[in-house]
Amino acid sequence: MKIKRIFALILSGLGIIACVTNPVTGRSSIQIANNNEIMMAAATEYKTTLSTAKVVTGTVDANRVKNVGAKIKNAAYAYYKSIGRESALANYSWEFNLIQDPQQNAWCMPGGKVAFYTGIMPICKDDNGVAVVMGHEVSHALAGHGNERISQAMLAQYGGSLIGGSISNTQWAGVFEKVYPVGAQVGLLAYGRKQESEADEMGLQLMAMAGYDPRSAIAFWQRMEASATGSKTPEFLSTHPSPQNRIADLNADMPKALEYYKAAGGKL
């Protein structure tokens, strides 16, 4: 995505400091960009990505990505509706695709544009494994982590000047170049450790709401960690918490997730 396009979609947030609370985790974050504009830009980038990639259709894995994605999407809608927050998802336009690529990776762009790479499917193994990844990636979008990362960069560099709206176009472009390097995809934005941990927690709850066993998350992350070859870390783990911390956090979040799983008809 071109820097000028990203710059244009953020301008509408000038002077508006919004504190957003995640309805699943309770974590608050500053998000000052216009979410609708971000979604529009993400949809364009997603279309471009699919046009230049080999999209896999009709296979067991491709159908698995679509089916699991649909169930987690429906679970998210049901939960947001139950707490009166369904308007937050009104402009989402979901897509779930599998791309032929050996990378062990997956991502969800703002607005619900999801891509799995074939390289991660053997690590997922089954529906539960796909649900672990799907819940995690969808949570990045639902929690507004892309918006938050842009906001963090703007506030860190310009602080009070940002609120006053006195930032020049050149200064804004400089921020966006750091957050979105030229040629980078919206869905592949590097998240911080707090955001990755929140996506773990939220994703665990979402997969459980959708009827997938949250206990399978522990085994998935162990398989993912074991897949690292030599000193090379899979892209999917590049900014994630350490394996020990992740598993400890997942175990701490598990009782709540199991309640959702039981409510969804799961067997304990």
pLDDT digits (tens, 9 = 90+) for 129-174: 999 999 999 999 999 988 888 777 766 766 655 554 555 556 644 5
Is 221 part of any domain?
Answer: no
Residue 182's pLDDT is: 40
Q: Is residue 247 part of a domain?
A: no
Residue 245 lies in a domain: no
The tokens for 10 are 């953020």
Question: What are the tokens at 87?
Answer: 């308007």
* 115 close to 130: Cβ distance less than 8 angstroms: no
Domain assignment present for 174: yes
Q: Is residue 101 a part of any domain in this protein? A: yes
Structural domain of residue 174, as residue ranges?
3-187
| 173 assigned to some structural domain | yes
Q: How many angstroms separate the CA atoms of 155 and 231, rounded?
A: 35
User: Which residue among the candidates 137, 148, 196, 198 is catalytic per the annotation?
Assistant: 137
95 bridge partner residues: 113
Would you state the structure tokens that stand for residue 251, as one six-digit string?
């175990």
Quote the radius of gyration of the chain (alpha carbons, Å): 18
Q: Is residue 232 part of a domain?
A: no
Q: Is 196 among the catalytic positions?
A: no
**Per-residue pLDDT tens for 166-177?**
555 566 445 555
What is the number of structural domains in the chain? 1
Type and span of the H or E element at 28? strand 28-30
Is residue 188 scored above 70 in pLDDT?
Answer: no
Q: How would residue 180 be classed by pLDDT, with cut points 50, 70 and 90?
A: very low
Whether 109 maps to a domain, the answer reads yes
